[in-house]
Amino acid sequence: MNTGMNTGWFKLHRKLMSSPVWLNSSAAHKALVITILSKVNYADQKWWDEDARSELLIPEGSFVTTYRLLAEASETSVGAVRNALKRLVGQDFCTVTTRPKYTVIAVLKWTYYQGHCDNNTQEAREKHAGSTQEAHIKEDKKETTKETTQQPNAEPPSEEQQNINPTTPSKPTTPPPPYAEFMDKWNAEAKIRGFRPCKDLNPARRASLKTRWAEPFFRENWIKALKLIWLNPWNLGENDRSWKATVSWFLKPDTVLATIERSEPTKLRGRRDE
């Protein structure tokens, strides 16, 4: 039943210990967190659904299990597992999709907890860039002072120039939209779940993504919302128009927020599988 890869090893990053998920959890909940991280797929894996008689792709950071198996693995009760999962879902640690005979758990920040992106290298680059910029500012200031000293007849710096604070942080700018990543992730989910694939990000769609990307909530939650679209049968064509979710619909102003809000009551809905 468990599609998690049970061979080899997995990373347990120290930053997990300082995350709200860890700090606000009991010992039993922490045991379940470690169990989930040890069970999820480190790469996409195919799984045969006997009831649906079809093959499902269980993506990286997800796995198929039951409450009973999780209880045995974490050495706790089924009721404790159910309560812990409700809490972990509320903390945005994972999503839980319950089916009649199995449950799919997806860790929302799997790459973050596994450190797939070399954040240390990125942080080092940012620190180096900041140090270099500060050094340039100091050097420019030194040169200005030197020139002023060598030119006795030069006009002294104005009061406005004297009050410039070189360390004042500049206004943060919005990063450019990840057009290629957005299209790849959309099509990967569309292939698995059955909604409309994206054949092209035309100028209108690019403009919409650029507008949404300026919104912090969208930037932080679009991947989570993308993984929740299929929980609403309406988005998969079960409606009187056979309409399915599209990129243009997803990029409308309130779609991501509404998708996340609408999914909350249904994440743990379904028949118990203990």
* More confident: 8 or 225: 225
What is the C-alpha separation between 107 and 1, in angstroms, rounded? 18
Query: Which residues lie closer than 8 Å to 111 by C-beta, 6 or more apart?
Result: 61, 117
What is the C-alpha separation between 71 and 197, in angstroms, rounded? 38
Whether the per-residue pLDDT at 249 is higher than 90: the answer is yes
pLDDT reported for residue 171: 59
pLDDT reported for residue 169: 56
Categorize the per-residue pLDDT at 211 as very low, low, confident or very high, splitting at 50, 70 and 90. Answer: very high
Which two structure tokens, joined as six digits, stand for 170? 């500049």
pLDDT reported for residue 271: 43
What is the C-alpha separation between 15 and 8, in angstroms, rounded? 22
Domain ranges of the chain: 14-114, 179-266
Terminal C-alpha separation, the chain: 13
Question: Which CATH code fits 14-114?
Answer: 1.10.10.10
Whether the per-residue pLDDT at 55 is higher than 60: the answer is yes
Whether the per-residue pLDDT at 108 is higher than 50: the answer is yes
Q: At residue 171, what is the residue type?
A: K
Do the beta carbons of residue 232 and residue 263 sit within 8 Å?
A: yes
pLDDT digits (tens, 9 = 90+) for 7-44: 666 777 777 788 888 888 888 888 899 999 888 887 88
pLDDT reported for residue 269: 45
State the pTM of this model.
0.44
What separation in angstroms does the CA of 64 have from each of 49, 103, 114, 236? Answer: 10, 6, 19, 21
Average pLDDT of the chain? 76
Percent above pLDDT 90 for the chain? 20
